[in-house]
Amino acid sequence: MTPEEKKRRKFIQQISGLGVLGLATVGGILGGPYLKAADLRLRPPGAIPEDEFIGLCIKCGQCLQVCPYDTIKLEDIDGKAGVGMAYIEPRERGCYLCKAFPCILACPSGALDHEHDSIEFVHMGIAIIHNPDACLAKIGEPVPDSAINRIYDHTKVLTDEEYESHKVTIRSDDPEKVELHKTLLKKLEQHRGEKICTICADMCPFHPDNSLAIGMINIKDGRMLPEIREACNGCGACVELCPTDVIKVIPRKSYSDIYSRKEV
Ligand code: SF4
Ligand code: SF4
Ligand code: SF4
């Protein structure tokens, strides 16, 4: 293990022990210096630094083929950077941080680093609360049906009947993948009509304890707002699932890049 990897592992161990260390004001996260990073693509887990990734990704699509959530896409001709290269569009489908990171293991070129195939080494970016005034938990509006139904569009394993009825049943083909998608939808279904939305905090796939990555904080009169925490690795699941597009991921940035300790 390289010194940098050791440092990162130690950091995660420290935050696991200490819990939440703080948050920054929304004003503090939206500054100009991060706009360039915001223009970068979110790369799959394990992606090496961007300039090296562009040199090493051979556009083979192996990571895409093994992703059970259909998260990874390949850049098309009109894309932002690197035609044919692997990226994630989190509003369309976030990464769900599979325990064995099959995407990393499938990469034959080293563009996704095989030494980074566990949660403590995966760092894709950092989430920010970019539009807090739209948060349903803040404004006190229940989760609408449309917010849950929208996610049915993101899964490719449903039958027409399931898709139209918004009721999932178990199908026999490709059972592991089907089950993963349906487990996700069933968990999300628990939030349909919820009076105070907690989708982002509840559905965050960071493991073993997602409260290290995100949590809901009380603001006033029972209203709440999500808080991004140090272990967030920018997987983008919260970005996909939020009913009102409150959260964004800044690729390649870390908690310490964005959130200032002096505001703790
Ligand atoms: S960790 Fe899983 S969900 Fe995320 S990109 Fe890799 S294979 Fe897909
Ligand atoms: S998912 Fe989170 S950020 Fe989005 S509306 Fe619900 S509580 Fe607010
Ligand atoms: S808060 Fe959780 S779901 Fe959102 S980007 Fe961070 S790790 Fe992923």
The whole-number average pLDDT for the span 110-121 is 92
CA of 161 to the centre of ligand 3 (A): 31
pLDDT at 262 over 80: no
Q: What percent of the chain has pLDDT over 90?
A: 63
Give residue 154 CA to ligand 1 midpoint distance, Å. 15
Q: Number of helices (H) and strands (E), helices first, in the chain?
A: 13, 6
| Partners of residue 217 on adjacent β-strands | 225
Judged against a pLDDT cut of 80, whether residue 165 lies above it is answered with: no
235 to each of 71, 145, 146, 200, how far by Cα in Å? 10, 24, 23, 12
Ligand 3 binding pocket includes 249 (Cβ within 6 Å): yes
Q: Over the stretch 245-258, which tens digit does the pLDDT of each residue have? A: 999 999 999 999 99
112 C-alpha to center of ligand 1: Å?
12
108 C-alpha vs ligand 1 centroid, how far in Å? Answer: 16
Tell me the DSSP string of 210-259. GGGTEEEEE-STT-EEEEE-TT-----HHHHH-TT--EEEEET--HHHHS
Q: How far is the CA of 138 from the centre of ligand 1 (A)?
A: 31
- What is the per-residue pLDDT for 242? 98
Binding site membership of 90 for ligand 1 (Cβ less than 6 Å) = no
Mutate-to-test residue for ligand 1 from 64, 101, 120, highest number of ligand atoms within 8 A of CB: 101
Residue 210 Cα to ligand 3 middle (Å): 8
- Confidence (pLDDT) at 196: 95
* Residue 29 CB-half CA count within 13 A: 26
Supply 7's token pair.
């440092």
Q: Is the pLDDT of residue 90 over 60?
A: yes
Q: Is the CB of 238 under 6 A from ligand 3?
A: yes
Section 215-243 average pLDDT: 97
Asked whether residue 197 carries a pLDDT value surpassing 80, the answer given is yes
- Which of 5-14, 168-177, 199-208 has the highest average model confidence (pLDDT)? 199-208
Cβ–ligand 1 distance for 232 under 6 Å, the answer no
8 A C-beta contact, residue 112 and residue 63: yes
Residue 206: CB within 6 Å of ligand 1? no
Reply yes or no on whether the pLDDT at 79 is more than 80. Answer: no
Maximum separation of any 2 CA atoms in the chain, in Å: 54
Residue 203: burial class (beta carbons within 10 Å; 0-12, 13-18, 19+): buried
Could you tell me the pLDDT band of residue 69, with boundaries at 50, 70 and 90? very high
Alpha helices in the chain (DSSP H): 3-18, 26-29, 35-39, 50-56, 62-66, 102-106, 136-139, 145-152, 160-165, 175-189, 199-203, 237-241, 255-258
At 48 the pLDDT is 96
- Residue 236's φ and ψ, nearest 5 degrees, are 85, 5
pLDDT greater than 70 at residue 16: no
Per-residue pLDDT, averaged over 19-38, amounts to 38
Residue 129's SS3 state is: strand
Q: Is the CB of 127 under 6 A from ligand 3?
A: yes
Q: What average pLDDT score do residues 20-30 get?
A: 35
Average pLDDT over residues 212-235: 96
